[in-house]
Amino acid sequence: MVASATLGYPRVGTGRAAKKAIEAYWAGKISEEDLQTAAKAIRQERWESQKNAGVDLIPSGEFTLYDHLLDHSFNFNVIPERFTKQGLSPLDTFFAMGRGHQDRAKGIDVAANEMGKFFDSNYHIVKVDHAPETEFKINRNQALEEYEEAKALGIETRPVLFGPITYLSLVRKSRDAPAEFKTLDLIEKLIPVYVEILESLKKAGAASVQLDEPILVTDAGEELGDLYKSTYEKLAAAGLPITLTTAYGRVGKSIEFLKELPIAGLHLDLNREPKQLDAAIEAVKDTKIVLELGLISGRNIWKNDLKASQAIAEKAIAALGADRVVISTSSSLLHTPLTTKVETKLTAEQLSWLSFAQEKCAEVAALATVLSGKESELFEQNTKDIAARREFERTSDSAVRDRVAAITPEMLSRKDAFPVRREAQKAHLKLPKFPTTTIGSFPQTKEIRVARAKFGKGELTQEQYETAMENEIKSVVDFQEKVGLDLLVHGEPERNDMVQYFGEQLTGFIFTQLGWVQSYGSRYVRPPIIVSDVSRPTPMTVRWSSYAQSVSSKPMKGMLTGPVTILNWSFPRADVSKEVQSKQLALALRDEVVDLANADIRAIQVDEPAIREGLPLRREDWDEYLTWAVDSFRLSTSGVENDTQVHSHFCYSDFGDIFPHIQRLDADVISIEASKADLKLLDVFAKHGYSNEIGPGVYDIHSPRVPSEQEIKDRLVAFAKVIPADLLVVNPDCGLKTRAWKETEESLANLVAAAKWARENL
């Protein structure tokens, strides 16, 4: 018999139960006991859903109330002193590590840990500081707790932990640590904690454990053979069989040392990298290692071609035998929505293309069933659905394809170089030194969401809805003028999401009602789905930006999401390349940029926060991606005259390695997340320099805490040491959509005051 497995499952719960419970706890509306009761019900639902789908190896221990990597740091008692001395409960300490905590009445003001992207996904991890003096001990044995919780329900699970090497590769090196220190230097301190956890799981009756080691699909992973050998020999001594899982790419040369490890199973991502199977079979055929074949994508929402996957799996079975093959998802299903069953507005044809987490569990089980020599109705229906999708893919918009084919090198460049453009922009915009602005969005209040929902249901007319949005825009503009910001924005009240909003106005997209995917903490998004060629039928933002400009004499900044980010934050097509899809989006946005400039919006921000996120995990694949990604941005923004100031925004962009490509974007102004990363990007600018204007974020908007004026002054002083003062722009780390108005008003007042101080003193 061929077994089936999943590596992880969405945490959202039916009806976004997790988000609602967590945010209710933060708001003081429910108790910690109520929150934990809700979390327990969601975990039960997750396990039962997978069991009912027929999955054999069901994961446990990967549920979290905020982030799985943060869980590990907290569970290993790696809690920075600034959190332990606040007198918070353990749960509130955990949340403070992820989102910060401010309670002025109690004198508590502590900033969150750094956040970063998880490999090349849009999921965010919390990176706690580690230093040479860091010590580990079990603060909470989550793996054991959840294994026993599932077992009490009659469900046998496979406990999941980050592998210790990936864990130490993902956490942050303390800024005060010696230059020569590497977080992996802590491995000998960490191993005993893992051994203790594995021994406790074995004692509790666990048959095996899943250790996630996706660092193995990076170039760095190939250099860690000796470390893996010594580490896993010590872990294996605990006596619990280990399945080592990789995801998000190919293991490459690492297969040569992986085959020597004392592990029971090895998982490979064969959805993204099917060609690595042959080398893996050859490597393990003379061992007892079970190959876990990640054939069902944990990253996309398309139905798996089960016949094609069957052929791949049969190759492994022929070489190793059915008892040494497991059918699995390519990664955790964390990156997919929960189920298609709740989608009532998609057509039957559209639903026949799609497979979310619950459906993917059924696909895993169906493939294992057929490979075990049994019949599966789902398998038969899958064959028909795949054939119908392939027929749909053969149709296209020839005008869009022709326009992409007609792109010329001249379309990728502005008329003149930055110094010439800058003089024209100074004359037009008349901004002061240390100009202040925001990244674009302002708080999305309950009133905004209600108006948008009523309009969607037909309870408001078009005129009533537009009037409501104009009132919100006028209010935001009035506030910005009152607080003293220099370059204004309209606040984006009409936008549900920075990608979905544009997708709804472009051809080639479809949308779910409840296809929520976790981004970080309680933040969930509904990625659009690209199903065919993309074009822009009519202007998308001009109406709102023009209205905002009409109610202010200060310059207004138009706000667009860039082509690479729209692509990376959507579920892309699988039948054409990402490059083709990105350039189709770029041409649509180029038209919008030109229309905004013609409407006298002479500062236009085209955000690309996902450009670093989409970077391939292997360096040898970088050039191809960066070439078309940067070209797509330039294609979007190069159709305007010199006096139009082009901005772009990046968050979580650890882009030291790709700095020349950031320069090649040739944006007049870039704004970056800097405060959340504890200003570490300043080191990059000190090393490389930057010739255009730049706005390093002066405070972290992912935390509800309000930065003091002095805190922002200190940041500006630090910035001015590495960036010429006349190139500095003053702005928050990111958009303000998720923040409340009170903290927004206080924070921006402090920002403006600090900028005024800088004009006189820096």
3-state secondary structure 568-608: HCCECCCCCCHHHHHHHHHHHHHHHHHHHHHCCCCEEEEEC
- Let me know: does 754 contact 716? Beta carbons within 8 Å: yes
Residue 58 is assigned to a structural domain of this protein? no
pLDDT for 670: 92
Q: Which of 316-330, 491-505, 628-642, 651-665 has the lowest mean pLDDT?
A: 651-665
**Residue 305 among known ligand-binding residues:** no
Q: Where are the alpha helices (DSSP H) in 100-212?
A: 142-152, 164-170, 187-204
**Residue 607 among known ligand-binding residues:** yes
Determine phi and psi for 341, rounding to 5 degrees: -60, -25
Highest mean pLDDT, choosing among 439-453, 540-554, 698-712: 540-554
**Residue 673 among known ligand-binding residues:** yes
Average pLDDT, the chain: 95
pLDDT for 227: 98
Determine phi and psi for 38, rounding to 5 degrees: -65, -40
Residue 303 is assigned to a structural domain of this protein? yes
C-alpha dist (Å) from residue 528 to 120, 152, 234, 498: 18, 39, 45, 11
Residue 623 is assigned to a structural domain of this protein? yes
pLDDT tens per residue across span 334-343: 999 999 999 9
Write down the number of H helices and E strands in the chain: 28, 23
C-alpha dist (Å) from residue 515 to 15, 361, 544, 549: 10, 16, 28, 35
pLDDT for 652: 56
Task: Give CA–CA dist 219/588, Å, rounded.
Answer: 36
Residue 530 has pLDDT above 90, yes or no: yes
**Residue 108 among known ligand-binding residues:** no
- Return the percentage of the chain with pLDDT > 70, whole number: 99
**Residue 145, SS3 per DSSP:** helix
80-91 burial by CB neighbour count: b if 16+ within 10 A, else e? beebeebebeee
Highest mean pLDDT, choosing among 73-82, 97-106, 659-668: 73-82
Task: Give CA–CA dist 632/412, Å, rounded.
Answer: 8
**Residue 361 among known ligand-binding residues:** no
User: Residue for token digits 């690209």?
Assistant: 530
Residue 483 has pLDDT above 60, yes or no: yes
In this prediction, residues 582-595 reach a mean pLDDT of 98
Residue 677 has pLDDT above 70, yes or no: no
Do both 353 and 425 map to the same domain?
no
Do both 738 and 663 map to the same domain?
yes
Do both 423 and 325 map to the same domain?
no
pLDDT for 676: 62
Do both 315 and 431 map to the same domain?
no
**Residue 271 among known ligand-binding residues:** no
Do both 480 and 371 map to the same domain?
no
In this prediction, residues 33-61 reach a mean pLDDT of 98
Residue 639 has pLDDT above 70, yes or no: yes
Do both 428 and 292 map to the same domain?
no
In this prediction, residues 223-239 reach a mean pLDDT of 98
Do both 352 and 389 map to the same domain?
yes
Q: Which residues pair with 467 in a beta bridge?
A: none
Residue 662 is assigned to a structural domain of this protein? yes
pLDDT tens per residue across span 116-142: 889 999 899 999 999 999 999 999 999
User: Residue for token digits 């901005």?
Assistant: 647
Residue 333 has pLDDT above 70, yes or no: yes
- Let me know: does 201 contact 160? Beta carbons within 8 Å: no
Q: Assign 492 a pLDDT band (cuts: 50, 70, 90).
A: very high
Domain count, the chain: 2
**Residue 395, SS3 per DSSP:** coil
In this prediction, residues 20-44 reach a mean pLDDT of 98
- Return the percentage of the chain with pLDDT > 90, whole number: 87
- End-to-end CA distance of the chain, in Å? 72
pLDDT for 397: 86
Residue 502 has pLDDT above 90, yes or no: yes
pLDDT for 253: 96
pLDDT for 655: 67
Residue 732 is assigned to a structural domain of this protein? yes
Task: Give CA–CA dist 115/408, Å, rounded.
Answer: 39
In this prediction, residues 459-485 reach a mean pLDDT of 96
pLDDT tens per residue across span 596-611: 999 999 999 999 988 8
Cα 16 to its chain centre, rounded Å, is: 18
Residue 665 is assigned to a structural domain of this protein? yes
Do both 752 and 664 map to the same domain?
yes
**Residue 566 among known ligand-binding residues:** no
Q: Counting Cβ atoms within 10 Å, is residue 704 exposed (0-12), middle (13-18) or buried (19+)?
A: middle
Q: Assign 700 a pLDDT band (cuts: 50, 70, 90).
A: confident
When comparing pLDDT for 306 and 653, which is higher?
Answer: 306
Do both 377 and 439 map to the same domain?
no
Determine which one of 72, 101, 267, 702 is catalytic. 702
Active site residue 702: yes
Do both 564 and 675 map to the same domain?
yes
Q: Which of 316, 311, 312 is nearest to 282 (CA)?
A: 316
**Residue 614, SS3 per DSSP:** coil
**Residue 657 among known ligand-binding residues:** no
Do both 381 and 339 map to the same domain?
yes
**Residue 492 among known ligand-binding residues:** yes
Residue 129 is assigned to a structural domain of this protein? no
pLDDT tens per residue across span 169-201: 999 999 899 999 999 999 999 999 999 999 999
**Residue 516 among known ligand-binding residues:** no
Residue 510 has pLDDT above 80, yes or no: yes
Domain boundary among 359, 393, 427: 393
Q: Assign 679 a pLDDT band (cuts: 50, 70, 90).
A: low
Write out the residue range of the structural domain in which residue 662 sits.
415-445+475-499+533-761
CATH number at residue 637: 3.20.20.210
Residue 89 has pLDDT above 90, yes or no: yes
Q: Assign 401 a pLDDT band (cuts: 50, 70, 90).
A: very high
**Residue 52 among known ligand-binding residues:** no
Q: Assign 661 a pLDDT band (cuts: 50, 70, 90).
A: confident
Residue 391 has pLDDT above 90, yes or no: no
Do both 562 and 631 map to the same domain?
yes
Q: Which of 184-188, 267-271, 670-674 has the lowest mean pLDDT?
A: 670-674
**Residue 19 among known ligand-binding residues:** yes
Q: Which of 440, 429, 408, 422 is nearest to 639 (CA)?
A: 408
Angle at 520 between CA 519 and CA 521, to 5 degrees: 140
Residue 752 is assigned to a structural domain of this protein? yes
pLDDT for 680: 65
| Backbone CA torsion sign across 447, 453, 457, 460 | positive
